[in-house]
Structure 1
Amino acid sequence: MTENLGQGDYTFRAAPDWAKLPDGIVLGDVAGIAVDGRDRAYLFNRGDHPVVVLEADGSFVTSWGHGVFTNAHGAHIGADQAIYLTDNGDHTVRKFSLDGRLLLTIGEPGKPAVPMSGQPFCRCTHTALAPNGDIYVSDGYGNAVVHKYDPAGRHLMSWGRPGTGPGEFNLPHNICCDADGFVYVADRENHRVQIFDGNGRYQAQINNMHRPSGLAITPGPCPHCIVGELKAYQPVNRTTPNLGARISILDQKSQLVSRLDRGEGAGTGPGQFVSPHAIALDSRGDMYVGEVAATDWAAVFPETPKPEVIRRFQKFTRVREQAT
């Protein structure tokens, strides 16, 4: 039995043998995870089966998307029960039905915008839907902006520029919308989550985190932020303890509410992380975390040979106090 991780209402237990993948289905790094209204998990990964669908009990449902994507990066299922898959290798967001029918493409495959031009897209990173169906895209590796589209994919506006001030970005890596339509952006290399209204007006920021990569928010207004923090990788700090490779849950005032961290640093065991890149919650509050551990291994462990088996994703079951 695995140990409990986290504190209070956000206490979890790793379920290391949850997924039941059939022979022949081998996942690459799970860069994106989304959960639908039936609590099925969609693992958007960098293997030969780009979208793998699993039931809540881990049983295999199907896979699709073969031969479509260049570099899986972000996955999101909105209230419309369509899945939005962000491919930072070919600079597109594609909307699919949950059974894999292409419904909409935003961006021109293989035709990036000029780097740091502010025009869509140059290595876009993630997508989120507002309650009214508007689409927000973080455009982060070759840009420093957020783009807003209507539900039909028409560009409405963009905001942001490189920098460290309010409304400026240093690699906007992930994005979420809350129940009131506020937009949360994981501003990774500025070590913060910025909050905007639906028209890009800066509202606040959440700090006290290290390189936020994965991002999810809890249901309802004024949510808590669930942040996947990357391990430090610079030669001067990559062995420093208490920097990343963990999941932190923070409130709107930047106060730590709970943290999933075994205190052993980055690793591949149950409840450990190397590069937690994607986070999703199901209706029960169980949490799914996708890793790009193989992609980031050399940066995190430059002197350690990459193991043959690397944990690509994990499920964490919410632990609730039993009534007495």
Structure 2
Amino acid sequence: MRRCLTFSLAVVALVGAFSVVFLPVSAQTKATATNVPVIPHEPVANFFKNAPGIYTGENMGIATSSKGTIYIFHRAYETRLFEYSPQGSFIREIGRNNYGFAFAHSVRVDAGDNIWAVDEGTDMLVKFSPEGKVLMVIGRREDPIGMLSNMPGGGVFHGRNEKYRFGRQTDVAFDQQGNIFVSDGYFDARVVKFDKNGRFLKAVGTRGNGNLQFNTPHSIATDFQGNVYVGDRGNARVQVLDNDLNWKANFPNVGNPWAVCVSGGPGPKSPGKQYLYASNSWQDSAPAAGAEFTGEVYKMELDGTIVGKFGVAGKAPGEFATVHQM
């Protein structure tokens, strides 16, 4: 499982529209859920405090450790991974100029407080220890000559479904046994399971709109029982799989889920009652009309029953543009 950053602090990584236009996907849609209670929320202004000369670009991913440490994976003219204190003060940078960094997409923290950077530009997952040492890499970059004609994150859908190669993978999650689940991605359409040592176990999915088919699986989360929740963004639904990646259910009423998250830490102790969160994001003014029916984050029971929602599209404090990760 993954930690959700406390919503009263800094809930989301917000990005610009150009980061999500490389593949044709369904236009952002209005959620079909009706009569949903509104959950009050309040923004905390100026929470993050950067050191002089330290700036963030597009904040693609955000995650917290068991100690409350916050990690932001962002991209501007380069991809960088920053660490902050629980109070939002800048602590350090991790992995700068790492071979696996080119086009940040998400960051997660596992039960051992190891930091996992998901880079869609290099088709690589990079696992760092809490001290910042590289412990594992899954995936590999394209041949440098072959990449010359594409900017990081560029290219075309291939659906190659190879064991240890990705297609601009998007996110990662973990179960109680330490197994690794990857949503893959823009150029593939599948979910991949590896064991805790990075050994391939199984992959499911093809491109389409049936069960166990995906159209930009953009985010992934697990619960304490090991169920897997996939933000099937282009198909405007959350797909639920069991731990062996068999289909269980679809939640089709919360719009296009750009980000999903299950509350509670990744173990080993039971976090108690858990909730699923899904963002129906506005594509950051592209088109502007989308602001009329997007921007909200849904809180659900794990069976898909909606508890409530919070947020609207916009750029003012308390409003959301592209909620890319929670």
- Give the direction of change, closer, same or farther, for the CA distance of 1:256–1:82 in structure 2 (3 Å limit): same
1:116 aligned partner:
159
1:267 aligned partner:
314
How big is each residue's C-alpha offset from its partner over 1:45-77, in whole Å with a ceiling of 9 and x where there is no partner?
114571111112111211122122111101111
1:59 aligned partner:
89
Give how far 1:174 is off. Answer: 0.6
Paired with 1:159 and 1:125, the residues of 2 have a C-alpha distance of 15
1:226 aligned partner:
277
Pick the aligned partner of 1:140 from 166, 185, 189.
Answer: 185
- Give the direction of change, closer, same or farther, for the CA distance of 1:95–1:27 in structure 2 (3 Å limit): same
Judge which range, 52-61 or 139-148, deviates more.
52-61
1:86 equivalent in alignment to 2:118: yes
Paired with 1:242 and 1:226, the residues of 2 have a C-alpha distance of 21
Paired with 2:109 and 2:141, the residues of 1 have a C-alpha distance of 21
How big is each residue's C-alpha offset from its partner over 1:96-137, in whole Å with a ceiling of 9 and x where there is no partner?
112321100001123599811222311111111111000111
Give how far 1:208 is off. Answer: 1.4
Q: Percent identity?
A: 28
Paired with 1:257 and 1:201, the residues of 2 have a C-alpha distance of 26
Paired with 1:26 and 1:52, the residues of 2 have a C-alpha distance of 10
1:32 aligned partner:
61
1:170 aligned partner:
215
Paired with 1:53 and 1:180, the residues of 2 have a C-alpha distance of 30
1:17 aligned partner:
46
SS of equivalent to 2:83: strand
How big is each residue's C-alpha offset from its partner over 1:128-179, in whole Å with a ceiling of 9 and x where there is no partner?
1111000111101000001111111111110011111111111100111110
Paired with 2:156 and 2:139, the residues of 1 have a C-alpha distance of 9
Determine if contact 1:94/1:104 at 8 Å carries over to the other structure.
Answer: yes
TM-score, normalised relative to structure 1:
0.77
Matches within 5 A, 1:98-117: 98-110=130-142, 115-117=158-160
SS of equivalent to 2:234: helix
Determine if contact 1:30/1:46 at 8 Å carries over to the other structure.
Answer: yes
CA RMSD of aligned residues (A): 2.6
- The number of residue pairs the alignment matches comes to 271
- Give the direction of change, closer, same or farther, for the CA distance of 1:240–1:145 in structure 2 (3 Å limit): closer
SS of equivalent to 1:89: coil
- Give the direction of change, closer, same or farther, for the CA distance of 1:140–1:200 in structure 2 (3 Å limit): same
SS of equivalent to 2:293: coil
Determine if contact 2:116/2:126 at 8 Å carries over to the other structure.
Answer: yes
Q: Which segments of 5 or more consecutive residues in structure 1 lack a partner in the other structure? A: 280-324
Give how far 1:7 is off. Answer: 6.2
Paired with 1:234 and 1:141, the residues of 2 have a C-alpha distance of 21
Determine if contact 2:291/2:314 at 8 Å carries over to the other structure.
Answer: no
SS of equivalent to 1:239: helix
Pick the aligned partner of 1:45 from 54, 74, 89.
Answer: 74
Which amino acid in the other structure matches residue 226 of structure 1?
Answer: Y
Paired with 1:143 and 1:222, the residues of 2 have a C-alpha distance of 33
Which amino acid in the other structure matches residue 144 of structure 1?
Answer: A
SS of equivalent to 1:30: strand
SS of equivalent to 2:50: coil
Give how far 1:234 is off. Answer: 10
2:27 aligned partner:
none
SS of equivalent to 1:203: strand
Give how far 1:83 is off. Answer: 1.1
